[in-house]
């Protein structure tokens, strides 16, 4: 007999008829001999209605009372679903988060799960009952036993956490789409359904705004090896499997607050090529990386910093063995770029040998302010200066001098309590997925970001640590981080620009925090731009596949879309573009990689 956890969202239980339909589906699974735990959200727009009620009473309701209020929404749906199951003759019992033993931090509206006491669930399952659980909520670990809610994506998180704690055979997430798609079908109507996707790819897509799964749920599935599948509530189609790697043993205590960093990685076979002061116009990156692709040269990190005047800097890393060929490509392109400007000093090529890349990686980094700052503090304390920074949702990479590599690794392992780690970055990634025609699995668009740029930050160990430490103190999560390659000497001090993105909701707070800290940082002006969009491609097949970046950049250039920033990881490339061009950028890139399906996917209302 298998133990299955199913989760149904608010749309799936949005009416009496839909609740009865869910009951039929649950009944069908139970009659196949499965033990079943069902997690449900509040009906339809119930949560939104409760929030409106609160705002009608108070302009600033307390987080505690909001948790008391919002937790009632799921109690309605679990009770009704149990009644529907009982009408079908299936024994069932509904339990709130507190009754089921979901123990959380004492942080109202954004609690993380500490552990789940499974004894009561197991008792009811042994009695042959379907256990219907209120998602999105729990109870604090304090003596006060406060009702808490988990924040956005809380029902997904509850379901996967229950599956991990109960060691379930699988966790099924039922949604209003048939599974995980190559892009948002509301923007790209011919988005293709994926049969399978790795947890790492799904983490990147979920963190980039793919709303079908919340990153916290994917993080738990990945950490504990929970077999996860995303399906439609309206059909019997097989959906999309999310495949997790074989997990390292870890305790179920501190379930969602386990260490955020799982590994410290490094690569000493690195060299850097930078083009400084290239024209800030569409097509430059496409031209550079298109020629690199034609030479079949494999690149690793790519960064493009914010523009200054009418120029940008683009830098990338390659293995030492192909550095001369990569430099030759850059030198060959530079004269053509110089002709676009009257300044003869533009498009200078700079090469750096003797560098290494050190990275911290971990699914637990998502949504936790201060992890990057902690890395920068650690490197600064060890006297290690950072030459390049590139980030993704689950990794932060820094390029440093190779002579500092051992010291950096030792310091980072101590800081993040890493005793055993795949220290050497792999030369290739083995994916559990079959080979796919396209190295890119999905394309995502985030229209809710803002960019801050800090000019003339002193290029000394510790400056980035202090800067991002100030933001962490304000509980502000940072997304893309890029350090410029261009060095400007001011009053005898070498300086570089730093740029990063945050959510638009945090943008003004971040600007004020940096303005207050600017005397301590010794930096120049602080610039804020809220009219940006981030478009990204994700795919494990991108590893060691020359030409992927070039194809993305060319797709943007063909639509005259200028790239304002670039950052990469092993399985993701992100570009910042003008917000008004975000949708076109997404559609162009999706089409460039041949991700369109044979038929349109309908999204249920």
pLDDT over 50 (residue 141): yes
Confidence band of 423 (pLDDT split at 50, 70, 90): very low
Distant-in-sequence, close-in-space partners of 565: CB < 8 Å, separation ≥ 6? 304, 305, 306, 451, 480, 482, 499, 501, 575, 576
Read off the pLDDT of each residue in 374-398 and give the average, rounded to a whole number: 88
Measure Cα distances from 545 to 328, 393, 424, 429, 477 in Å.
Answer: 20, 21, 20, 11, 31
Measure Cα distances from 573 to 143, 247, 439, 467, 547 in Å.
Answer: 46, 26, 12, 25, 12
Residue 441 CA to residue 431 CA, distance in Å, equals: 13
* Per-residue pLDDT at 474: 86
Q: What is the pTM of this model?
A: 0.86
pLDDT over 50 (residue 426): no
How deeply is 428 buried, as exposed, middle or buried, from its count of CB atoms within 10 A (0-12, 13-18, 19+)?
A: exposed
pLDDT tens for 4-46 read: 999 999 999 999 999 999 999 999 999 999 999 999 999 988 9
* Per-residue pLDDT at 508: 94
Q: Region of 151 please: left (phi>0), alpha (psi -120 to 50) or beta.
A: left
**DSSP notation for 196-255:** EEEHHHHHHHHHTT-TTS-HHHHHHHHHHT--EEEEESS-----EEEEPPPPPP--STTT
pLDDT over 90 (residue 340): no
Q: For 30-39, 114-123, 204-213, which range has the lowest pLDDT when averaged over its residues?
A: 204-213
Kindly state the percentage of the chain with pLDDT values over 90. 55
Inter-residue contact 273 to 547 (CB < 8 Å): no
Strands 263-279, 240-243: parallel, antiparallel or unpaired by DSSP? unpaired
């Amino acid at each position: 007999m298998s133990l299955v956890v199913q989760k149904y969202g608010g749309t799936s239980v949005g009416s009496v008829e839909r609740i009865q339909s869910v009951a039929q589906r649950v009944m069908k699974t139970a009659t196949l001999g499965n033990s079943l735990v069902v997690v449900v959200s509040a009906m339809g727009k119930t949560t939104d209605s409760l929030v409106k009620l609160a705002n009608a009473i108070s302009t600033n309701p307390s987080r505690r009372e909001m948790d008391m209020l919002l937790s009632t929404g799921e109690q309605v749906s679990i009770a009704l679903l149990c009644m529907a199951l009982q009408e079908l003759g299936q024994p069932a019992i509904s339990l709130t988060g507190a009754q089921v033993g979901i123990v959380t931090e004492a942080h109202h509206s954004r609690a993380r799960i500490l552990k789940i006491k499974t004894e009561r669930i197991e008792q009811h399952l042994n009695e042959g009952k379907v256990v219907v659980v209120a998602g999105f909520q729990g109870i604090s670990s304090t003596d006060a036993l406060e009702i808490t809610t988990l924040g956005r994506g809380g029902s997904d998180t509850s379901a996967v956490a229950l599956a991990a704690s109960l060691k379930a055979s699988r966790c099924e997430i039922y949604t209003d789409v048939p599974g995980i798609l190559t892009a948002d079908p509301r923007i790209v109507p011919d988005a293709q359904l994926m049969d399978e996707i790795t947890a790492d790819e799904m983490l990147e897509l979920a963190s980039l705004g793919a709303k079908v799964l919340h990153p916290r749920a994917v993080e738990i599935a990945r950490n504990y090896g929970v077999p996860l599948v995303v399906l439609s509530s309206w059909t019997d189609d097989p959906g999309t499997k999310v495949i997790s790697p074989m997990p390292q043993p870890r305790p179920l205590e501190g379930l969602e607050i386990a260490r955020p960093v799982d590994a410290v990685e490094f690569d000493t076979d690195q060299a850097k090529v930078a083009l400084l002061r290239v024209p800030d116009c569409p097509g430059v990156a496409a031209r550079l990386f298109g020629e690199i692709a034609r030479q079949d040269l494999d690149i690793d990190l790519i960064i493009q910093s914010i523009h200054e005047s009418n120029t940008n800097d683009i830098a990338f890393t390659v293995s030492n063995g192909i550095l001369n060929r990569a430099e030759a490509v850059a030198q060959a392109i530079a004269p053509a770029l110089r002709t676009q400007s009257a300044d003869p000093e533009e498009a200078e090529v700079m090469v750096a040998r003797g560098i290494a890349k050190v990275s911290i990686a971990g699914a637990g980094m998502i949504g936790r302010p201060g992890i990057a700052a902690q890395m920068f503090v650690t490197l600064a304390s060890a006297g290690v200066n950072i030459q390049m920074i590139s980030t993704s949702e689950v990794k932060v990479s820094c390029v440093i001098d190779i002579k500092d590599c051992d010291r950096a690794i030792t310091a980072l392992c101590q800081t993040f309590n890493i005793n055993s780690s795949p220290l050497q970055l792999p030369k290739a990634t083995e994916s559990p997925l079959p080979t796919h025609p396209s190295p890119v699995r999905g394309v995502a668009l985030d229209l809710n970001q803002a960019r801050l740029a800090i000019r003339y930050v002193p290029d000394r160990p510790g400056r980035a640590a202090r800067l991002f430490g100030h933001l962490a103190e304000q509980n502000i999560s940072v997304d893309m981080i890029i350090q410029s390659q261009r060095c400007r000497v001011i009053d005898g001090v070498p300086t570089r620009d730093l740029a990063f993105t945050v959510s638009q909701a945090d943008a003004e707070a971040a600007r004020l925090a940096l303005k207050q800290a600017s005397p301590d940082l010794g930096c120049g002006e602080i610039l804020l731009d809220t009219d940006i969009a981030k478009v990204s491609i994700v795919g494990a097949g991108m590893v060691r596949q020359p030409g992927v970046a070039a194809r993305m950049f060319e797709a943007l250039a063909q639509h005259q879309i200028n790239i304002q920033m670039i950052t990469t990881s092993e399985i993701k490339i992100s570009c910042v573009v003008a917000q008004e061009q975000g949708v076109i950028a997404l559609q162009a890139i999706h089409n460039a990689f041949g991700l369109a399906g044979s038929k349109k996917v309908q999204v249920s209302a």
